[in-house]
Amino acid sequence: MKRLKKLRSEARLSLEEKGVNSLFLAFGTLTWHDKDKPDEALTSPLILVPIELIKEPKRDVYKISILEEDVVLNPTLLLKLKQTFGIELPEGEAVQDMAYGELTSQIRKLLVEQKTWEIKENVFLSLFSYAKAAMVRDIIENEARIFAHPILQAISGNLSSYQASYKEPLPASVLDSRV
């Protein structure tokens, strides 16, 4: 019961402080090997179902309630597999429309070339924070725009782009009338 109380408390804190649900039921795990450390087995959750732990008043009974958020494949794992191995697993609505067996079957087909990798059928409850994965994905998808930005060009030593787009700031006496 102490573990459930702690999980519930930490999930509530994450939601209040960051506005992000971090409590999930994880269905299935992928045991895999990174290219940088081929001898080290890594285990990652596959399917994440957002949930809430509800404690019944005056009793040590907890219930799981599924939240009205999307069920997702582990976004951090998706990003790693795509960037490092070129493996693109289903995302978004494709995941929502598939049954668990169909989804794991499709994942197995996509991972068939990875002989040492293994999908295990298990379920566990834990906290997962993948808010940074969205940030990393945005950086990767917008890499060219980011590096072309005049301020970043100036920081890296190339002032020409920044100087070409530089505009003299408005004098303080005119700011109020312009705003």
Same domain, 17 and 103: yes
Residue 91 covered by a domain: yes
Beta strands 118-127; 72-73: pairing state: unpaired
Q: Which residues contact 34 (CB under 8 A, 6 or more apart)?
A: 40, 42, 80, 84
**From start to end of 34-169, where are the E strands?**
41-55, 62-66, 72-73, 118-127
Q: Does 159 lie in the same domain as 117?
A: no
Do 148 and 123 fall within a single domain? Answer: no
Residue 148 lies in a domain: yes
Residue 55, domain member (yes or no): yes
Q: Give residue 133's pLDDT.
A: 66
pTM of the model: 0.72
* Residues 80-92: b if buried by 16+ CB within 10 A, e if exposed: bbeeeeebebbee
What is the per-residue burial (b if ≥16 Cβ within 10 Å, else e) of 136-162? Answer: ebeeeeeeeeeeeebeebeeeeeeeee
The confidence score (pLDDT) of residue 131 equals 67
**115 and 152 fall within a common domain:** no
pLDDT 10s digits, 17-26: 888 888 999 9
Can you give the residue range of the structural domain that contains 156? 142-179
Asked if 68 and 24 sit in the same domain, the reply is: yes
34 and 120 fall within a common domain: yes
Question: 58 lies in a domain?
Answer: yes
Q: Are residues 118 and 146 in the same domain?
A: no
Asked if residue 10 is part of any domain, the answer here is yes
Residue 121 lies in a domain: yes
Distance CA 98, CA 13 (A): 32
Say what the pLDDT of residue 168 is: 79
- Ranges of the chain whose pLDDT falls below 70: 131-134, 179
Q: Measuring CA to CA, how many Å separate 67 from each of 2, 37, 51, 71, 76?
A: 23, 37, 5, 9, 21
> For the chain, how many structural domains are there in total?
2
